[in-house]
Amino acid sequence: MNPFRHLLKAAGAHPPVGTWVVSSNALAAEALGHAGFDWAVLDLEHTTTDLGDLVHLLQAVGNTRMVPVVRLPWNEPVMVKRVLDAGALTVMFPFVQNAEEARRAVAATRYPPEGVRGVMGLSRATRYGTATQALRHANQSVGVIVQIETREALDELEAIATVPGVDAVFVGPADLSASLGHLGEPAHPQVMELLARAVDRCKALGRPVGTMGASAELVAQYRAMGFDFVGVGSDLGLMMRGAQAALSALRTQDTTIVHSVTAGTLTR
């Protein structure tokens, strides 16, 4: 079974928690896996990560229990082919607007006659030709997640989510908020209302739905809505928040010490 499908099936009442890897750094990705995240998006859309970096990220995450999801830069079959040959088993397609785009996404992940994926036997995906059954089972092994990121796409949610081969839907709050005129406000009430309705609609279809937020507090609200999988932050985001919190605490302490000295209250 595809690892991400298995993760969702085994989750029960506790939605798997993931994060984003945007630094292109294999050690950071490996560390996040050991930190205990259930899944992570290795992002090719909004990062400098290239295919060579991706192979190193997949190798690093392979040393952990964290399930990798590769977000493609676009719904483009040549890139899909190369990412799958690099060893990705679950891919996320950004900005899917309608059922036809969802069908194109699925077709790019399938070998003929079910799709248009080109065949390469000596790839990392086939363990360089040693996994003799890899090609035969590839069409069933690859997982497909489609991103819904605009009001127009939400209007087409049922048609997109029910395309054969789509395993899960991911609603992106950042782009959705921008499409609604609330750029930079993913927790705007209108966005939150549409997210909650998207969960209900996907539940009615029996299709898993996920999302992500920058903070644990926001993601807790998503979990309460009923999302089946959630992501929080990113490697760089978590690092920056930790660094800023540490600096803020030290600078506050420094200020307190200075005030104490000025007031003559510092004890030795």
Please name the residues in contact with 231: beta carbons below 8 A apart, sequence gap of 6 or more.
17, 18, 19, 20, 39, 41, 210, 211, 212, 213, 219
Q: Which amino acid is at 109?
A: T
Tell me how far apart the alpha carbons of residues 86 and 89 are, in angstroms, rounded to a whole number.
Answer: 9
Catalytic residue list contains 46? yes
User: Tokens standing for 51?
Assistant: 């295919």
Question: How far lies 230's CA from each of 19, 121, 206, 213, in Å?
Answer: 8, 35, 17, 8
Q: Which of 6, 14, 34, 46 is catalytic?
A: 46
Q: How many CB atoms lie within 10 A of CB 101?
A: 17
Closest CA to 241 of 216, 218, 211: 216
Residues recognised as catalytic: 46
